[in-house]
C-alpha cells in the first residue's frame, strides 16, 4: 500500500562519467546523505553553455533522500562534482510503497551531515 504524504525526495544530477557517478554515489551513501544513488550511464544532453549549443554524453544520477538532507546534500554534491554548475533538481515524491520508504528512513537514520 502506498504511503502519502512523504518527505522523500529524488534529486537529479548529471556527471561527466560513470566513474565519477560511482565515486560520488559511494560518498553520499556512506555519509547517509542519500539512501540510494541510481546511476544511468551514457545519456545525451543538449544544452546551451557560454553562448554555444552543446551535445554531451553524460551519466545521470537519481539520488534518493529526504527533505531534511537537501541542503547538506547540495553542498556536498557541489564539493564533489567536477562541473562548474552541476545540475541539482529536486523532485518531491508524492507517495511510495511503505516498505521502500521505511527502508529509506532506516538507511538514512537520524544523521544529517552539515
CATH assignment at residue 14: 3.30.70.120
- Copy the grid coordinates of residue 85: 554548475
Is the confidence at residue 111, as pLDDT, over 50?
Answer: no
| The model's pTM | 0.90
What's the chain's length in residues? 114
Q: What is the mean pLDDT of the chain?
A: 92
Burial of 101 (C-beta count, 10 Å sphere; 0-12/13-18/19+): buried
- Copy the grid coordinates of residue 68: 531534511
What pLDDT does 60 receive? 98
Is the confidence at residue 110, as pLDDT, over 70?
Answer: no
In a domain, 113, yes or no: no
Q: How many domains does one find in the chain?
A: 1
In a domain, 114, yes or no: no
What pLDDT does 109 receive? 84
What pLDDT does 3 receive? 67
Q: Which residues contact 8 (CB under 8 A, 6 or more apart)?
A: 64, 65, 66, 67, 93, 96, 101, 104
Owning domain of residue 63: 2-108
Average pLDDT of the segment spanning 5-15: 94
Amino acid at each position: 500500500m502506498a504511503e502519502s504524504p512523504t518527505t522523500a525526495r529524488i534529486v537529479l544530477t548529471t556527471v561527466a562519467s560513470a566513474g565519477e557517478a560511482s565515486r560520488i554515489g559511494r560518498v553520499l551513501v556512506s555519509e547517509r546523505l542519500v539512501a540510494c544513488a541510481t546511476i544511468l550511464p551514457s545519456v545525451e544532453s543538449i544544452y546551451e553553455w557560454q553562448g554555444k549549443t552543446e551535445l554531451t554524453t553524460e551519466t545521470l544520477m537519481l539520488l534518493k533522500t529526504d527533505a531534511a538532507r537537501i541542503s547538506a546534500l547540495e553542498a556536498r554534491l557541489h564539493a564533489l562534482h567536477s562541473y562548474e554548475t552541476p545540475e541539482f533538481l529536486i523532485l518531491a515524491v508524492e507517495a511510495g510503497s511503505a516498505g521502500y520508504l521505511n527502508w529509506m528512513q532506516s538507511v538514512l537514520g537520524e544523521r544529517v551531515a552539515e
